[in-house]
Amino acid sequence: MKITPSLTARLEFLARVTDKECQHLLDTDGRLFGTLFTIEEAQKIEADPILAERLDAFVSRFGRLQDTVGDKLLPALLTALAEKTGPAIDNLDKAEKFGFIESADGWMEMRRLRNQMVHEYIEDLAVLASALRSGHAFVPALVAAARRCVAEARRLLQAQAATSLNPT
C-alpha cells in the first residue's frame, strides 16, 4: 500500500497534534477533578475564575480531542488503510472493527455528553456536575482510543518509510 506524500504529512501532523491534545486533556482533567465534582463545586464557578477557566478548558479539550480523532485522524487513518470513508458513524464502526476505539456507540455517547457540557452547563448546575463527572469517567477511554489511532498511524508511516527505502 502506498500512502501519498500529502496523506503522509497529514498523518504526521495529526499524530503530533493528537499527542499534545491528549496531554493537555489529561493535565486539565487532573486539575479539575482533584476531588469529586459536585453541585457545590459547580456553584463556585461564578465566584472562582480559576475554576471557571479549568471547566472551560476541560470541556474544550475534551471536545477538541474528540473532533481531532473522530473527524480528522480517523478518516485519514482509514484512507491510509485503503478503507473507504463515509459518514462519521460508518467510520466509527470501522474504527471499532480495527480496534482503534472500544465502541462506536460509546464514542457517540461521548459526543452527546460533550454537546451537553457545552450547551447546558450555564442553566442547570446539577446537569453540569453530572456531565462533568461523566466526561471525567470517559477521559481514559478517549485518550486510549486517540493513542491507539496515533500508534497505528505511526506504524503505517514507518512501514511506508521502510518500503520507500527498500523497494522490492
Going by C-beta distance under 8 Å and a sequence separation of 6 or more, which residues neighbour residue 11? 3, 73, 76, 77, 80, 153, 156, 157
* pLDDT reported for residue 120: 56
Q: Domains of the chain: which residue ranges?
A: 5-163
CA–CA distance, 7 with 21 (Å, rounded to integer) = 20
40-72 residue pLDDT tens: 888 888 899 998 899 999 999 999 999 999 999
Name the band, by pLDDT with cuts 50, 70 and 90, for residue 122.
low
**In this structure, how many other beta carbons lie within 10 angstroms of the beta carbon of residue 103?**
15
What is the grid cell recorded at 64? 477538541
Least reliable range by pLDDT among 5-9, 47-51, 128-132, 154-158: 128-132
Task: Name the H helices within 44-103.
Answer: 49-67, 74-80, 88-98
* pLDDT reported for residue 115: 82
Pair 28, 54: CB distance under 8 Å: yes
What is the grid cell recorded at 13? 501532523
Global model pTM greater than 0.85: yes
| C-alpha separations of 69 from 38, 54, 74 in Å | 29, 22, 6
Comparing C-alpha atoms, which of 160, 153, 161, 155 is closest to residue 13?
A: 153
Pair 165, 140: CB distance under 8 Å: no
CA–CA distance, 105 with 77 (Å, rounded to integer) = 20
pLDDT higher at 137 or 34: 137
Going by C-beta distance under 8 Å and a sequence separation of 6 or more, which residues neighbour residue 32? 54, 55, 57, 58, 132, 136
Least reliable range by pLDDT among 13-17, 89-93, 99-103, 114-118: 114-118
CA–CA distance, 26 with 19 (Å, rounded to integer) = 11
